[in-house]
């Protein structure tokens, strides 16, 4: 996970919401980390927008775990 964080913060156009959004996305399912890292390793010319577009195009993008306390965030 540290490798992912380092990669995300190294983007020239990185921003807090981008880093946190990707980190939260990959933490929800273990296979997401592998997919995102493979994508990040596929090119040296990616932007944060490319990564967001890649994640948003994943079939499980809209699958979120419910908060552990059972409350729904609205």
User: pLDDT per residue over 13-35, tens digit each?
Assistant: 999 999 999 999 999 988 999 99
Query: By residue range, what is the domain housing residue 32?
Result: 2-56
Calculate mean pLDDT across residues 34-41. Answer: 97
CA distance 19 to 10: 10
What sections of the chain are H helices per DSSP?
2-9, 16-28, 30-41, 48-56
Q: What is the pLDDT of residue 70?
A: 53
Task: Provide the domain count of the chain.
Answer: 1
| 34 lies in some domain | yes
| 64 lies in some domain | no
| 37 lies in some domain | yes
Of the two residues 58 and 67, the one the predictor is more confident about is: 58
Q: Within 13 A of 53's CA, how many CA atoms are on the CB side?
A: 5
How confident is residue 45, by pLDDT bands cut at 50, 70 and 90?
A: very high
Closest CA to 60 of 21, 28, 38, 34: 28
């Amino acid at each position: 996970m540290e490798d992912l964080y380092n990669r995300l913060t190294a983007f020239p156009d990185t921003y807090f919401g981008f880093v946190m959004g990707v980190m939260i996305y990959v933490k929800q399912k273990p296979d997401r980390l592998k997919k995102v890292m493979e994508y990040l390793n596929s090119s040296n010319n990616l932007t944060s927008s490319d990564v967001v577009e890649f994640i948003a195009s994943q079939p499980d993008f809209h699958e979120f775990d419910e908060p552990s306390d059972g409350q729904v965030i609205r």
